[in-house]
Amino acid sequence: MSTLTLEALPLTAEAFRPYGDVIEVGDRFAVINRGTTRHYPDLAKIDVDAQGGRTRVSLYHVMPYDLPLEVAMLERHPLSSQLFMPLDDAAFLVVVAAKDADTIAPEAVRAFLTNGRQGVNYHAGTWHHPVIALDRETDFLVVDRSGSGRNCDEFHFDEGARITVRLAGR
Amino acid sequence: MSTLTLEALPLTAEAFRPYGDVIEVGDRFAVINRGTTRHYPDLAKIDVDAQGGRTRVSLYHVMPYDLPLEVAMLERHPLSSQLFMPLDDAAFLVVVAAKDADTIAPEAVRAFLTNGRQGVNYHAGTWHHPVIALDRETDFLVVDRSGSGRNCDEFHFDEGARITVRLAGR
pLDDT digits (tens, 9 = 90+) for A93-105: 999 999 988 999 9
Residue A169 pLDDT > 80, yes or no? no
pLDDT digit string, tens, across residues A49-77: 999 999 999 999 999 999 999 999 999 99
Identify which of B70, B110, B30, B62 has the alpha carbon closest to the alpha carbon of residue A38.
B62
Supply the ipTM of this predicted assembly.
Answer: 0.96
The predicted structure's pLDDT at residue A170: 75
Instruction: Measure the N-to-C terminal CA separation of chain A; round to a whole number of Å.
Output: 24
State the CB neighbour count (10 A cutoff) for residue B83.
26
Q: Residue A75 CB: number of other CB atoms within 10 A?
A: 16
Residue of B nearest to A35 (CA): B63
> Mean pLDDT, chain A, as a whole number?
96
Residue range of the domain that includes A114: 2-166
Chain B neighbors of A85, CB-CB under 8 A:
85, 87, 141
Lowest mean pLDDT among A126-140, B11-25, B113-127, B154-168: B154-168
Contact A60 B43 (CB under 8 A): no
- What local confidence, expressed as pLDDT, does residue B161 receive? 87
Mark yes or no for CB contact A37/B85 under 8 Å: no
Residue B160 predicted with pLDDT over 90: no
Collapse the DSSP code of A135 into the 3-class scheme (helix H, G, I; strand E, B; otherwise coil) and give the result: coil
Q: Is the dihedral of CA B21, B24, B28, B33 positive or negative?
A: positive
Reported confidence tier of residue B168, pLDDT bands at 50, 70, 90:
confident
Which DSSP letter does residue B13 get?
H
Per the CB < 8 A criterion, the answer to whether B56 and B146 are in contact is yes
Residue ranges with strand state E in B80-160: 82-86, 92-97, 110-113, 119-122, 127-128, 132-134, 138-146, 153-156
Query: What are the beta bridge partners of residue B6?
Result: B165
Residues of chain A with pLDDT > 70: what percent?
A: 100
Domain count, chain B: 1
Task: Tell me chain A's radius of gyration from C-alpha atoms.
Answer: 17
**pLDDT computed for residue A160 by the predictor:** 87
pLDDT digits (tens, 9 = 90+) for B12-66: 999 999 999 999 999 999 999 999 999 999 999 999 999 999 999 999 999 999 9
**Residue A10 CB neighbour total at 10 angstroms:** 11
pLDDT of residue A86: 98
Q: Are B59 and A44 inside 8 Å of each other by CB? A: no
Pick the residue from chain A with its C-alpha nearest to B49.
A54
Span A106-128, average pLDDT:
97
pLDDT grade for A26, boundaries at 50, 70 and 90: very high
CB-based contact A59:A88 (threshold 8 Å): no
Least confident range of A50-54, A115-119, B160-164: B160-164
Question: Are A24 and B59 within 8 A, CB to CB?
Answer: yes
Summarised one tens digit per residue, pLDDT across range B92-103 is 999 999 998 899
A chain contacts of residue B133, beta-carbon cutoff 8 Å = 36
Q: 10 Å Cβ neighbour count for B139?
A: 20
Q: Report the C-alpha gap between B127 and B109 in whole angstroms.
A: 9
Of B75, B85, B71, residue with least CA distance to B5: B71
Q: What is the CATH number of the domain that holds B121?
A: 2.60.120.480
Residues in B touching A143 (Cβ below 8 Å)? 55, 57, 143
Alpha-carbon distance values, A65 to A113, A114, A166, B16 (Å): 14, 15, 12, 36
